[in-house]
């Protein structure tokens, strides 16, 4: 017997050798895949880093840097500046103006008023308006305008040259006493002058209104009125605040009472009085200032308190809602007695002086932007630059102290974006997003909470509609439908996923919403009938005799199911008008007759709004965008369950439904969770459907018949109009970062859940 050689020949062994080129390609492809995976991770975190880089400046405090002070003649009582702060001036008690070059310290110009035989007894300047008011010894007021013209020397260096123009004095107060103080304000209709005098040992305020009207050729015609007394019922006041709107007046008495007056024809009428520090050991108001916009007042007390009072609608005892002053904020305690409140121009910031310290606050958020040393015991006048880029203060020694300000986002804080803020004019704290308006005094509102709410609301209604349909369809197609029909249904669903969202949004806003609006009850009845009809159809089919059911091939049961469910939905649709007439009848507001109208019933019964473009329409249309994605992934997961598990379950006597519920779904649960989470990501990031199918208003209402605004829609609508680097621009990036983190966290949790379910139900 021949010896059998069990060893393979060299030729046979060579068959299992791998070519060096194949090994090299495999090795490099593995490295390339790892490099690509790392690149994807780095790209994701790079996007997050870019978003953080854009929003980081929002939460940086103000930077204030002291500049070398300017020395002026002693006795300066007021000051002013040009637009660039290059040629400031001070005004002496006799009305003389001294102009000085801030770069060289050289004297530029000196101007003196010509009011003889009268003399100047009061001076007030408005630094950013170039206005100086001179109160005279006979109660008259002279208006002095300071302007600057640009000039260039031989070397081409730009310089500002001051020009002083003095108007003829106006008789405002009583000619028997000199002016002790003077104020002016201007609005679209004219100007207001107010003077303060001491007559017979009593303090008096007198006002004068000048009506201005533009004629042909742009010439302004000025019509002076008659002087009128102000606040004749109070004399013990120590501070007067005249808003720039020239339509109101605030007097602060020595006992801490604040009295307000409003324009009433040819004079001012008493409006309201309040005591900001009532109940305190020392209720005096030591300093006060009107904030930009003239509807908010910051007051400080002898114990370092600082409160903010504002005009907003308040319900009166007679049931009417009137705009009255009320406290809206209570600021942090100052380091001493409040000595001054000075408002910025263009935003809601103000400077508070107390205990030798300067504190820069934002009125709305209450945040402390900066704190530093005052450098003086007291200030005669303080003014911010028009662009909120500098600060100047005139002290008692005639020095003009100056600071540079770098505070690009003064209204930003964590409370701004995620807290309740009491804004001017509102009746209480609220979450609000409103980034633009038509007036300069408008205060931008950047709360992201309504956008979060709208995002969650839209996602909820979309998934509420999409998940039941997508998941049940995936189960039916993968486990019950015949293969030849499955080859048609699944590609059709995948084609649905390619529909552009802008087309769906167009159909939702311009076609579906008007179509659904008049027959909403019929639609809801039809949708409510679908699930019971399908359950009843399945139950009825199971009760049919075997000989009847055997006439229908397995997987063809839909020939009975679809017509039955469609018929039930049609009957429910036809019953909609009867249901509306029976349950939703109200009186018509115009005629008083009963009408069957769900929309009017909803408004009258719940007090909520009803919009034709509402959350239900959005959810319905967004569901069509989500269904194909969830269906495709879930169907693949269900179809990939090993057939041995399904055959074994059926062989042990389980029914087809029992097999699906107990074997197929637990085995494919990780894939189903992935499908749901990918559908969630599709819904939460949807933009065009939300923009076109809702009112796109940032409201926080659980009302299913109101609109909403999502984070993604807000970014798409407002980012093209946001100025680069502006607070609005960075707030949009903050919303994008929050949306990024929200989806990242939820997807991470979903992946952890998927892995645990996979380990639990894995096939050994």
Residue-wise pLDDT tens digits, 353-389: 998 899 999 999 989 999 999 887 788 999 998 889 9
pLDDT at 50: 93
Q: List C-alpha distances in Å: 80 to 88, 120, 183, 394, 542.
A: 6, 18, 16, 10, 93
Q: List C-alpha distances in Å: 633 to 343, 475, 671.
A: 60, 11, 7
pLDDT at 377: 78
Express each pLDDT in 591-642 by its tens digit: 778 888 888 899 888 888 888 888 888 888 898 889 999 999 999 999 888 8
C-alpha 79/C-alpha 129 separation (Å) is 11
Alpha-carbon dihedral 512, 518, 523, 524, rounded to 10 degrees: 120
Instruction: Say whether pLDDT at 497 is over 90.
Output: no
Q: Which helix (H) or strand (E) holds 151?
A: strand 140-152
Report angle CA 556, 559, 563 to the nearest 5 degrees. 155
Sequence-ordered list of residues with C-beta below 8 angstroms from that of 472, at least 6 positions apart, any chain:
none
CB atoms within 10 A of CB 28: 10
Q: List phi, psi (to 5°) of 679.
A: -65, -35
**Residue range 473-497: mean pLDDT, rounded:** 86
CB atoms within 10 A of CB 727: 22
Q: What pTM does this model have?
A: 0.86
pLDDT at 219: 62
**Residue range 12-25: mean pLDDT, rounded:** 76
pLDDT range class, residue 1, cuts 50, 70, 90: very low
Instruction: Say whether pLDDT at 222 is over 80.
Output: no
Instruction: Say whether pLDDT at 299 is over 90.
Output: yes
Contact 249, 264 (CB under 8 A): no
The alpha-carbon radius of gyration of the chain (Å, integer) is 38
C-alpha 576/C-alpha 470 separation (Å) is 26
pLDDT at 308: 95
Instruction: Say whether pLDDT at 3 is over 60.
Output: no
C-alpha 762/C-alpha 667 separation (Å) is 7
Contact 400, 90 (CB under 8 A): yes
C-alpha 98/C-alpha 108 separation (Å) is 8
C-alpha 381/C-alpha 538 separation (Å) is 85
pLDDT range class, residue 22, cuts 50, 70, 90: confident
C-alpha 120/C-alpha 94 separation (Å) is 5
pLDDT at 233: 57
C-alpha 367/C-alpha 354 separation (Å) is 17
Instruction: Say whether pLDDT at 164 is over 90.
Output: yes
Express each pLDDT in 191-208 by its tens digit: 889 999 888 778 888 888
Comparing 540-544, 644-648, 657-661, the range with the smallest average pLDDT is: 540-544
Instruction: Say whether pLDDT at 214 is over 80.
Output: no
Q: List C-alpha distances in Å: 177 to 205, 295, 625, 703.
A: 12, 33, 80, 65
Sequence-ordered list of residues with C-beta below 8 angstroms from that of 340, at least 6 positions apart, any chain:
287, 289, 351, 352, 353, 378, 379, 382
Three-state secondary structure of 395-449 = ECCCEEEEEEEECCCCCCCHHHHHCCECCCCCCCCECCEECCCCCCCCCCEECCH
Express each pLDDT in 442-478 by its tens digit: 788 999 999 999 999 999 999 998 999 999 999 988 8
Strand partners, 288: 299
Contact 622, 691 (CB under 8 A): no
**Residue range 686-713: mean pLDDT, rounded:** 86
Where in 82-139 does DSSP place strands (E)? 89-92, 97-100, 107-111, 120-126, 131-136
Sequence-ordered list of residues with C-beta below 8 angstroms from that of 63, at least 6 positions apart, any chain:
370, 405, 406, 407
CA atoms within 13 A on the CB side of 93: 7
**Residue range 75-89: mean pLDDT, rounded:** 89
Please report the domains of the chain, with CATH numbers, ordered by start residue.
72-165 (2.40.10), 449-760 (1.10.3720.10)
- Pairing type for strands 296-301 and 285-290 reads antiparallel
């Amino acid at each position: 017997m021949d010896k059998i050689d069990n060893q393979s020949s060299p030729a046979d062994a060579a068959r299992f050798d791998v070519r060096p080129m194949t090994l090299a390609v495999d090795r490099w492809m593995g490295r390339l895949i790892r490099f690509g995976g790392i690149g994807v991770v780095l790209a994701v975190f790079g996007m997050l880093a870019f978003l953080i880089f854009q929003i980081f400046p929002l939460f940086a405090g103000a930077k204030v840097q002291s500049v070398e002070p300017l020395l002026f003649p002693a006795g300066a009582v007021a000051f002013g500046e040009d637009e660039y702060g290059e040629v400031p001036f001070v005004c002496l008690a006799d009305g003389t103006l001294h102009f000085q070059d801030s770069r060289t310290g050289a004297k530029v110009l000196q101007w003196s008023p010509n009011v003889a035989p009268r003399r100047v007894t009061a001076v007030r300047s408005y630094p950013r308006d170039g206005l100086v008011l001179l109160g005279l010894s006979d109660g008259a007021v002279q208006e002095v305008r300071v302007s600057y013209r640009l000039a260039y020397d031989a070397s081409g260096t730009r310089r500002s040259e001051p020009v002083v123009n003095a108007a003829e004095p106006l008789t405002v107060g009583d000619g028997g006493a000199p002016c002790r103080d003077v104020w002016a304000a201007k609005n679209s209709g004219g100007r207001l002058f107010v003077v303060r005098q001491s007559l017979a040992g009593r303090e008096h305020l007198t006002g004068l209104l000048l009506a201005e009207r533009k004629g042909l050729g742009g010439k302004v015609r000025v019509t002076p009125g008659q002087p009128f007394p102000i606040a004749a019922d109070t004399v013990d006041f120590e501070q007067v605040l005249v808003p720039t709107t020239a339509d109101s007046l605030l007097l602060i008495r020595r006992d801490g009472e604040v009295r307000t007056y409003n324009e009433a024809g040819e004079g001012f009428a008493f409006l309201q009085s309040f005591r900001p520090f009532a109940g305190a050991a020392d209720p005096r108001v030591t300093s006060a200032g009107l904030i930009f916009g003239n509807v908010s007042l910051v007051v400080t007390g002898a114990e370092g308190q600082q409160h903010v009072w504002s005009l907003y609608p308040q319900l009166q005892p007679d049931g009417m809602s009137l705009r009255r002053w009320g406290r809206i904020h209570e600021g942090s305690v100052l380091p001493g007695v409040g000595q001054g409140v000075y408002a910025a121009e263009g935003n809601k910031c103000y400077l508070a002086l107390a205990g030798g310290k300067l504190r820069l606050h934002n009125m709305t958020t209450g945040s402390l932007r900066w704190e530093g040393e005052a450098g003086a015991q007291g200030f005669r006048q303080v003014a911010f630059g028009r662009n909120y880029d500098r600060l100047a203060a005139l002290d008692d020694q005639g020095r003009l102290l100056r600071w540079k300000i770098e505070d690009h986002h003064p209204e930003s804080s964590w409370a701004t974006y995620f807290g309740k803020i009491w804004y001017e004019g509102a009746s209480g704290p609220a979450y609000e997003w409103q980034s633009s308006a038509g007036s300069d005094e408008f205060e931008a509102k950047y709360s992201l909470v309504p956008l979060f709410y709208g995002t969650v609301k839209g996602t909820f209604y979309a998934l509420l509609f999409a998940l039941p349909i997508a998941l049940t369809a995936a189960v039916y197609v993968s486990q019950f439908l015949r293969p030849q029909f499955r080859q048609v249904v699944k590609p059709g669903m995948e084609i649905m996923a390619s529909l552009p969202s802008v087309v769906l949004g167009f159909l939702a806003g311009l076609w579906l919403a008007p179509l659904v609006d008049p027959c909403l009850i019929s639609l809801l009845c039809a949708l409510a009938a679908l699930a019971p009809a399908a359950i009843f159809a399945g139950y009825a089919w199971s009760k049919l005799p075997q000989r009847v059911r055997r006439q229908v091939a397995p997987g063809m049961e839909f020939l009975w199911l679809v017509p039955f469910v469609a018929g039930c939905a049609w009957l429910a649709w036809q019953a909609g008008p009867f249901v509306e007439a029976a349950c939703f009848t109200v009186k018509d507001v115009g005629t008083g007759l009963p009408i069957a109208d769900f929309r009017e019933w909803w408004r009258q019964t719940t007090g909520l709004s009803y919009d034709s473009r509402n959350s239900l329409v959005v959810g319905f249309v967004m569901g069509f965008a989500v269904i194909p994605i969830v269906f495709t992934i879930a169907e693949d997961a269900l179809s990939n369950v090993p057939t041995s598990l399904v055959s074994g379950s059926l062989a042990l006597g389980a029914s087809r439904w029992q097999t699906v519920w107990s074997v197929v779904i637990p085995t494919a649960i990780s894939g189903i969770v992935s499908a749901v989470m990918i559908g969630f990501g599709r819904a939460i990031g949807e933009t065009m459907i939300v923009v076109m199918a809702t009112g796109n208003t940032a409201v926080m209402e659980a009302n299913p018949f109101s609109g909403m605004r999502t984070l993604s829609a807000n970014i798409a609508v407002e980012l093209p109009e946001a100025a680069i680097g502006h607070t609005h621009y960075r707030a949009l990036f903050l919303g994008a970062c929050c949306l990024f983190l929200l989806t990242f966290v939820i997807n991470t949790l979903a992946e952890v859940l998927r892995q645990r379910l996979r380990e639990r139900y894995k096939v050994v």
